[in-house]
Amino acid sequence: MKELRQIIRIECEIYKCDIEVIIGGTVEQANKRVLWRWPNFGDLTLDVVPEGRTYRPGNSADVIVWCELNENFQSILAHEAIHAAAHVLKFRGAKPDVDDGNEEAFGYLVEWIIREVNKKGRKLIRRKT
Protein backbone atom coordinates (compact mmCIF):
# COMPACT_ATOMS: atom_id res chain seq x y z
CA MET A 1 0.00 0.00 0.00
CA LYS A 2 1.27 3.47 -0.87
CA GLU A 3 1.93 5.45 2.26
CA LEU A 4 0.51 8.85 2.98
CA ARG A 5 3.53 11.09 2.55
CA GLN A 6 2.65 14.58 3.75
CA ILE A 7 -0.32 16.74 4.65
CA ILE A 8 0.15 20.42 3.88
CA ARG A 9 -2.18 22.91 5.54
CA ILE A 10 -2.55 26.26 3.83
CA GLU A 11 -4.37 29.03 5.66
CA CYS A 12 -6.04 31.33 3.18
CA GLU A 13 -6.63 34.46 5.22
CA ILE A 14 -8.20 36.53 2.45
CA TYR A 15 -11.03 33.99 1.95
CA LYS A 16 -11.05 32.76 5.56
CA CYS A 17 -10.58 29.08 4.82
CA ASP A 18 -8.14 26.21 5.13
CA ILE A 19 -6.89 24.27 2.16
CA GLU A 20 -5.37 20.94 3.10
CA VAL A 21 -3.32 19.11 0.46
CA ILE A 22 -2.53 15.43 0.95
CA ILE A 23 0.51 14.38 -1.05
CA GLY A 24 0.83 10.68 -1.78
CA GLY A 25 -0.96 7.67 -0.44
CA THR A 26 -4.18 6.29 -1.87
CA VAL A 27 -7.65 7.65 -2.41
CA GLU A 28 -8.84 5.35 0.40
CA GLN A 29 -6.39 6.98 2.81
CA ALA A 30 -7.52 10.41 1.66
CA ASN A 31 -11.15 9.38 2.22
CA LYS A 32 -10.29 8.40 5.81
CA ARG A 33 -8.70 11.81 6.40
CA VAL A 34 -11.80 13.54 5.01
CA LEU A 35 -14.11 11.54 7.29
CA TRP A 36 -11.86 12.30 10.27
CA ARG A 37 -12.14 16.03 9.52
CA TRP A 38 -15.76 16.03 8.39
CA PRO A 39 -17.55 12.96 9.89
CA ASN A 40 -20.81 13.73 8.05
CA PHE A 41 -19.20 14.33 4.66
CA GLY A 42 -21.38 11.87 2.77
CA ASP A 43 -20.73 9.41 -0.02
CA LEU A 44 -17.08 8.97 -0.95
CA THR A 45 -17.50 6.27 -3.60
CA LEU A 46 -16.04 6.83 -7.06
CA ASP A 47 -16.69 5.20 -10.41
CA VAL A 48 -12.98 5.33 -11.20
CA VAL A 49 -9.89 5.55 -9.07
CA PRO A 50 -8.31 8.93 -9.82
CA GLU A 51 -4.80 10.27 -9.35
CA GLY A 52 -6.25 13.25 -7.54
CA ARG A 53 -9.43 14.40 -5.88
CA THR A 54 -10.87 17.54 -4.31
CA TYR A 55 -13.22 17.22 -1.34
CA ARG A 56 -15.62 20.09 -0.68
CA PRO A 57 -18.04 20.12 2.24
CA GLY A 58 -21.27 21.96 1.58
CA ASN A 59 -21.14 24.17 4.66
CA SER A 60 -17.63 25.63 4.48
CA ALA A 61 -15.10 27.22 2.15
CA ASP A 62 -12.53 24.71 3.46
CA VAL A 63 -11.16 22.15 0.99
CA ILE A 64 -9.10 18.97 1.13
CA VAL A 65 -7.14 18.01 -1.98
CA TRP A 66 -5.44 14.65 -2.53
CA CYS A 67 -2.78 14.12 -5.21
CA GLU A 68 -1.01 10.88 -5.92
CA LEU A 69 2.73 11.40 -5.87
CA ASN A 70 3.93 10.25 -9.28
CA GLU A 71 5.42 11.65 -12.48
CA ASN A 72 2.14 13.49 -13.18
CA PHE A 73 2.04 15.23 -9.79
CA GLN A 74 2.34 18.82 -11.04
CA SER A 75 -0.40 18.48 -13.65
CA ILE A 76 -2.66 16.68 -11.16
CA LEU A 77 -2.02 19.42 -8.60
CA ALA A 78 -2.90 22.10 -11.18
CA HIS A 79 -6.13 20.27 -12.04
CA GLU A 80 -7.16 19.88 -8.38
CA ALA A 81 -6.11 23.46 -7.51
CA ILE A 82 -8.63 24.66 -10.10
CA HIS A 83 -11.42 22.70 -8.36
CA ALA A 84 -10.29 23.94 -4.94
CA ALA A 85 -10.09 27.59 -6.01
CA ALA A 86 -13.48 27.42 -7.73
CA HIS A 87 -15.08 26.03 -4.56
CA VAL A 88 -13.52 28.66 -2.31
CA LEU A 89 -14.54 31.53 -4.58
CA LYS A 90 -18.08 30.24 -5.14
CA PHE A 91 -18.58 29.72 -1.41
CA ARG A 92 -17.45 33.30 -0.78
CA GLY A 93 -19.75 34.65 -3.51
CA ALA A 94 -17.12 35.44 -6.15
CA LYS A 95 -17.99 33.27 -9.11
CA PRO A 96 -15.08 33.06 -11.58
CA ASP A 97 -16.22 33.46 -15.17
CA VAL A 98 -13.80 33.55 -18.08
CA ASP A 99 -16.50 34.84 -20.42
CA ASP A 100 -16.88 38.17 -18.63
CA GLY A 101 -13.21 38.72 -17.75
CA ASN A 102 -13.81 38.03 -14.06
CA GLU A 103 -11.19 35.31 -13.74
CA GLU A 104 -8.30 37.28 -12.21
CA ALA A 105 -9.05 36.32 -8.57
CA PHE A 106 -9.48 32.72 -9.73
CA GLY A 107 -6.12 32.72 -11.52
CA TYR A 108 -4.30 34.23 -8.55
CA LEU A 109 -5.83 31.73 -6.11
CA VAL A 110 -4.92 28.73 -8.31
CA GLU A 111 -1.36 30.05 -8.67
CA TRP A 112 -1.08 30.68 -4.91
CA ILE A 113 -2.30 27.17 -4.01
CA ILE A 114 0.23 25.55 -6.37
CA ARG A 115 3.06 27.77 -5.14
CA GLU A 116 2.31 27.05 -1.47
CA VAL A 117 2.15 23.29 -2.03
CA ASN A 118 5.43 23.30 -3.94
CA LYS A 119 7.11 25.47 -1.31
CA LYS A 120 5.92 23.47 1.71
CA GLY A 121 6.31 20.04 0.10
CA ARG A 122 9.42 20.84 -1.90
CA LYS A 123 11.75 18.15 -0.54
CA LEU A 124 9.24 15.32 -0.93
CA ILE A 125 8.05 16.46 -4.36
CA ARG A 126 11.60 16.77 -5.76
CA ARG A 127 12.56 13.29 -4.55
CA LYS A 128 9.50 11.53 -5.97
CA THR A 129 8.64 13.28 -9.24
pLDDT digits (tens, 9 = 90+) for 10-47: 999 999 999 999 999 988 889 999 999 998 888 777 66
CA distances from 28 to 43, 46, 66, 120 (A): 13, 10, 10, 23
**17 bridge partner residues:** 12
- Reduce the DSSP state of residue 65 to 3 states and report it: strand
**How confident is the prediction along the chain (129 residues), in pLDDT tens digits per residue?**
566 688 999 999 999 999 999 999 988 889 999 999 998 888 777 666 689 999 998 788 999 999 999 999 999 999 999 999 999 999 998 877 767 766 888 999 999 999 999 999 887 777 765
- Find out whether 65 and 73 touch, Cβ atoms under 8 Å: no
- Reduce the DSSP state of residue 115 to 3 states and report it: helix
